[in-house]
Structure 1
Amino acid sequence: MKMGVSCIQLLSVLLVCATSSKKTEGSEIETLRNEQSFIKQKQEDMAQAVMHCTQIQAYTNKEVNITCLDEGSISTLNSFSQEEEDDETDEGFDPCRRYTSLKQDWRATNYSTKNVACDRNVQWKGWYRLFYRGKSIQMPELCVKQERCGTHAPLWLVGGHPRKRDGIVTRKVCAHWNNNCCAYQSPPIQVKACQGNYFVYKFVKPPVCHMAYCAVSRIHYRKVYVNVGRAFNRSTGVFTAPVKGVYQFFFSTQTDRSGLKTDLWLVVNGYWVAMSHTHVSTSNTVGSLSTYMTTLRKGSSVYVTHNCGKSYANSASNNIVFGGSLLFSRRLKEEI
């Protein structure tokens, strides 16, 4: 397996031709000869560089960039500077904007071993972003089964992914082999979380073959939060918005026997905004589930009220179902 390695040779040529009435004819000729010699040397340097490249030259107003990639490379270069080589020591360097898109479907955790790959044979350089069938994905944070990800010993990320505020972090990498999730420890890699909910990785060579970095599209949540900030009062049944944002609510109930109806009203800040109407033909049946999405200010109150009819619940159900979630927080342009 070959990986594309970008090599860029920058050449800036500035030609200055000036004449002066004070100069003698001999000095002018000597100056031109020196300039011709300089140009010839640069042309020879460029010819030597082109011999090692497979792609055509790309010209800019200021310089000539020569980019050469190994033939058969299945990696694509996302972006590169035409002014200068990327220098990770620069304060302005951001791997979220300077990475190689790694589009290799066989790295997915659902891909069984066929042609065994080994990332030790890859000339890793710079940062990489993982893709699977056009979708941006990430390394697994849990142990992966053997003979997956197109290799014998899949490599997975230990310690989880960072948050955007963490910047560039270093994480351990383990290989699963012989029923041991960390039978081999590969050299640590650097990881960064980027704006847009994706990650970039600075991969390095594993210690032995056959190991390969895995990619998984499933997100493993570290924690699941319920009733964040005690926003829902169990005693009164009132939800108080903890932050400004867009919320979605759902609610439903049951009737005690066939032929009866039950209505629930959803009330926001004292005003009725939605209704769940239940009229079922048999008893002990859940009525229709109603949903409502709205933008709330911090401190807004939301609750459901029983409008008419009788509600019923057996031992395996709740009398009234009322729930919701914060879709995303936002700043409102003006307070109402």
Structure 2
Amino acid sequence: MKLKPFFLLLQGVLIGFLNVHAQSTMTHSFYKAVTINMDVNTAYSKTLILLHEIYDGTNTLPTNYAVGTIMAVRGTTGADHRLNVVNIHSGSGYRSIRAFITSNNDMATDWKLKTCTYNGKRYMALDVPYKNQQHKEGYHFAGWVRSSGENLKTVTYEINGVPQNQNVLSNVQDFSPNMIARHQVSQLTITGNVGIGTSSPAERLSVNGNIRAKEVKVEMANWPDYVFKEGYVLPSLVEVDKYIQSHGHLPGIPTTQEAEANGIELGEINRKLLEKVEELTLHLIEKDRENTLLQDRLSVIEKHIGITKTSYEK
């Protein structure tokens, strides 16, 4: 019975020990969750956020990186408290530079990766989405950042169309993302438009470039088998010839100007081309019948006047 208080005490100590260790968090030395100081906070301003130093093409560089998320808050009720968020994956070391971003915004421009020279050093930077009103609530970063120069530093380069900080900032250039993102999922659902090689897709999928596929399936309606049905008015070849002479293209087919300006709808153009093929097939069948009839009549005439195949050969 005397041991019971001891075990109760030991139990309490163990529970406390486990609770303390269960709640403890190991923090990486380069991890930050900070508010990025703004160099200016005024309307009509365009700003870069310096992420980390990068290889400048001459001197090798120690490890530099920025991996995390920046949230920019436009603030005020009139601005609808717009949140503009960017996920950053960027690094530079020795003689290489690798970076890409994913983002969303509600501004006139997008988040963009830039390179620039600041106080003589080359940096990977973010071009903050621009609109006439600035992000009054500032920029907030959470993630890992390591730089042999500046890091998470804002530099405004324009206010109301007037260049800023030209004495320390120069050589601002677009950076083309050069990393690969993979999403290993069984299904990817996107509710809006998707643009590949274009930033303003007007269709569900807009591709500015080539597409290679083993199979493309286009759902169709009004397939042109109606050409073979009774009652279809087949344009005569004379009518088609007159139309071509007047318009320079087949009836119902887009002109060169229309195709170049608007592109072509794959399903619709295939439907129209098949319609023309079926019309052409009917004309060929008709001409074959006429040809057979003429051959039969010619044979009768030749037989009547005594002309044989041997006579033609002589």
TM-score band (shorter)?
Answer: under 0.3
Larger radius of gyration: 2
More helix by share: 2
Give the structure-1-normalised TM-score. Answer: 0.24
Higher relative contact order (CA 8 A, sep 6+): 2
